[in-house]
Structure 1
Amino acid sequence: MHRMLKETPPLAIDDQVEAGRLEALDRFDVMDTPREEAFDRITRLIKNIFELPIAIVSMIDGHRQWYKAYEGLENREVARDATFCKYTLHDMTPLIVPDARDDARFAQNPMVTAGPRIRFYAGAPLRTHDGHNIGTVCAIGFEPRAFTARESAILSDLAGLAMDALELRQQASLDSLTGALSRRAFKEQAAQAIALAQRHRHGLACIAFDLDHFKSINDRHGHATGDKVLVAVAEACRAQLRGSDLFGRLGGEEFALVLPHTDRAHMSGVAEKVREAIEQIAIRNGQTRVPVTSSFGMAALDARTSDIDALLANADAALYEAKAAGRNRCVAWLQVNDMPASPRRRVLKAGRILFNNRMSSIDCTVRTLGEDGAGLDISSSIGVPETFSLAIRSDALEARCRIVSQTERRIEVEFC
């Protein structure tokens, strides 16, 4: 049970639908993953077919719209409240806005009144086989225009192709760029390794790490150089591992290891070896050396943390402690009086940060959750007070929280 939690009013039907929608999105494990040609091809088709400047394949979680593929944009995500696409979550048919200035829902939207001054929008929902809208395929223009029934049908077909691509990527076992295990394959093989460790009573550790300031590498040196960095990191990591160890790429610059026959006392040595190997990578863009460092979080299998999701969630929490402490370091999942902290579980839930006597609020996505704390993703941690209330309406729960660590877009809290 969570400590200091109190119930909110009975769960509304909209909250139930949203909870089911986020569970469906979570099954695809697609948020914050790298760009892939199958989805980029769809955005190119949208631009060419409809002759519009912006095309997007996106997913929507609890607080943002995130772009799996995009043409004509620089940013890769936008706050959910600011996006047109949130209105597609409730519909089975495309949403067509011929001129946003004439639509009460969008006329005062900053993307209409200021840059980029959107006028036309057409968005078709990404609908799962069990009926949940998890995102959109959309086309956007800077001039008003009509959109025929035939064009709407074409956009819906392109949304169907995007869903087919999502289904296919779930079946892939290796990441095409780095050769690491895909997220799905890593979790499946990790589950088998954990079962063996539990049966034969031997140690097992999980290490999560990601590259420090990787976005700035892509921005400053280009995505081709960023890809070289990812390949070099994978090679450096594999050189430090045994044949029985598991190595997976979970997101764009996020990786994870599972180390059978490794206990808490020895996992730090492995993490430190990998960290040092990554720090020594020599990648150049012309005459400029590209510095590469990484931050690590570690968690060990124990009686309270008995599956891969809990291990990854604990390692994630420790990883964000490492990032908050200055990056390029290794941090183990917190221990109190030699007793493990309450295990986390990986989730994807809509949350709301409440403060100023509930007069102010910020949308967030709850990514990890335990009895005594949570990990929250937000658009920006600037302005979030040290203490606040976290509401998770799908669970009919509210908790008073205190921030224990934070980065630009991630907050770790303990319940108080």
Structure 2
Amino acid sequence: MIEASNPSNEQHRLEILNSLNILDSDRNERFDRITRLATRVFNVGISLVSLIDKDRQWFKSEIGLETKETDRAISFCGHAINSSEILIVEDAQNDVRFHDNPLVINAPFIRFYAGCPLKYRDGTILGTLCIIDAMPREFTDEDRQLLRDLAAMVENEIAALELATTDELTKIANRRAFFSVAQSLLKVCERKPDTCFSIAFFDLNDFKFINDNLGHDAGDDVLITFANKLQQSFRVCDIVARIGGDEFAVLYAHEKKEQIENAVQRFEKSINQFNRNRIDYQIKYSVGVVEFSCKDNPSLDAMLSKADSLMYQQKRALKQSS
């Protein structure tokens, strides 16, 4: 078996994949409809929408396969993302890259594979729409075009999913995306009870004053700047979202609480630097941070409520001191 090398833009590719908040998300009939169609038109046993994460391939949709992920090291799709062309393996037993692959010599006993790259809007390859069968076969030019057409449908669904989970003004995750990812992380808790997370809940202070006195364009600038500073201060793998008009939240996985405290401090320094260069308005905010362990079987509503309460405690303290 020959393990696939990483694409040259691997870091950028993973950043985009994580920003879409699609990994570990729930089943979606829009994707399943395409994989069902693929199994029928090509008469194969398996069809997958496979997204290549750092160490695994995860299936947004899987027809004919009873697992949601496999190791990236043994994936056919890991090879497919290294080219913009369809990867065709007519008989895996006769291919030096795959003849002794665990997925070939064991279930699902792959013989035939065809994977069409799934591209993000900037051309970055995120994964594949692939079809798999336990019998070798040829793949014609007409077959290739049909697979490309189906892959384009998957790409359109990914784009629509991104629009539905992105805040239109700030271009960060919206409330829907935040809650979806948070619920997925709680599912991770069931498998990895030693994992710790934190939620940071931010609320802008005096935002109404800026809107009323400087206009909504200035208010929009504040929201966009605030969102950009949050993204710059936290990690790419953290979920930064606008969950209300002037409310933002960050979901942060960590080993030590000091990690999120350092990120909050970086954000504070960034905002202070911004404020020093402004004379028309100052960005002010309150924040509440709550840490939770998967061992505690946490409730998302309870965590947000606690973070919100801590944020308002800080807001009241700031008003009393001013």
- Give the structure-2-normalised TM-score: 0.58
Distance between the aligned counterparts of 1:39 and 1:24, measured in 2? 19
The counterpart of 1:121, out of the listed 88, 113, 117, is: 113
- Structure having the higher strand fraction is 1
The counterpart of 1:86, out of the listed 78, 82, 95, is: 78
- Structure having the higher helix fraction is 2
The counterpart of 1:38, out of the listed 27, 30, 39, is: 30
Q: RMSD in angstroms over aligned alpha carbons?
A: 3.8
**2:150 matched to which residue of 1?**
158
**2:99 matched to which residue of 1?**
107
- Residue 249 of structure 2 corresponds to residue 249 of structure 1: no
Distance between the aligned counterparts of 1:151 and 1:131, measured in 2? 23
**2:285 matched to which residue of 1?**
none
Distance between the aligned counterparts of 2:158 and 2:176, measured in 1? 24
Structure 1: runs of 5 or more not aligned: 1-12, 173-181, 193-244, 257-294, 322-332, 346-404, 408-416
**2:199 matched to which residue of 1?**
298
Distance between the aligned counterparts of 2:167 and 2:97, measured in 1? 42
Q: Which runs of structure 2 are paired with 1:159-308 in the superposition (5 Å)?
A: 159-172=151-164, 182=165, 184-185=166-167, 188=170, 248-251=178-181, 253-254=183-184, 297-301=198-202, 307=230
Question: Is the alpha carbon distance of 1:111 and 1:167 closer, same or farther for their aligned partners in structure 2, counting shifts above 3 Å?
Answer: same
Question: Is the alpha carbon distance of 1:335 and 1:121 closer, same or farther for their aligned partners in structure 2, counting shifts above 3 Å?
Answer: closer
Indicate if the aligned counterparts of 2:167 and 2:173 stay in contact, CA closer than 8 A: no
Indicate if the aligned counterparts of 2:7 and 2:81 stay in contact, CA closer than 8 A: no
Indicate if the aligned counterparts of 1:122 and 1:138 stay in contact, CA closer than 8 A: yes
Question: Is the alpha carbon distance of 1:247 and 1:187 closer, same or farther for their aligned partners in structure 2, counting shifts above 3 Å?
Answer: farther
**Residue-by-residue CA offset, 1:72-95 (whole Å, 9 max, x unaligned):** 111101111010011111111111
Q: Which of structures 1 and 2 has the bigger CA Rg?
A: 2
Distance between the aligned counterparts of 2:112 and 2:37, measured in 1? 18
Indicate if the aligned counterparts of 1:119 and 1:141 stay in contact, CA closer than 8 A: yes
TM superposition outliers: structure 1 runs of 4+ over 4 Å: 13-16, 186-192, 245-248, 311-318
Distance between the aligned counterparts of 1:151 and 1:189, measured in 2? 38
Code of the residue aligned with 1:125 in structure 2: it is P
Distance between the aligned counterparts of 2:95 and 2:140, measured in 1? 18
Code of the residue aligned with 1:62 in structure 2: it is K
Residue-pair matches, total: 219
% identity of equivalent residues: 34
Compute the displacement of 1:163 (Å). 0.4
Compute the displacement of 1:342 (Å). 1.4
**2:136 matched to which residue of 1?**
144
Question: Is the alpha carbon distance of 1:168 and 1:343 closer, same or farther for their aligned partners in structure 2, counting shifts above 3 Å?
Answer: same
Compute the displacement of 1:312 (Å). 4.5
- Residue 251 of structure 2 corresponds to residue 343 of structure 1: no
**2:257 matched to which residue of 1?**
334
Question: Is the alpha carbon distance of 1:317 and 1:187 closer, same or farther for their aligned partners in structure 2, counting shifts above 3 Å?
Answer: farther
Indicate if the aligned counterparts of 2:7 and 2:82 stay in contact, CA closer than 8 A: no
Distance between the aligned counterparts of 1:114 and 1:191, measured in 2? 40
Distance between the aligned counterparts of 1:107 and 1:247, measured in 2? 41
Distance between the aligned counterparts of 1:250 and 1:130, measured in 2? 25
- Give the structure-1-normalised TM-score: 0.46
Distance between the aligned counterparts of 1:187 and 1:37, measured in 2? 28
Distance between the aligned counterparts of 1:20 and 1:101, measured in 2? 34
Indicate if the aligned counterparts of 2:27 and 2:61 stay in contact, CA closer than 8 A: yes
SS in 2 for 1:139: strand
Distance between the aligned counterparts of 1:154 and 1:307, measured in 2? 43
Question: Is the alpha carbon distance of 1:20 and 1:189 closer, same or farther for their aligned partners in structure 2, counting shifts above 3 Å?
Answer: closer
Code of the residue aligned with 2:124 in structure 1: it is H
Structure 2: runs of 5 or more not aligned: 187-195, 204-226, 241-248, 266-292, 296-322
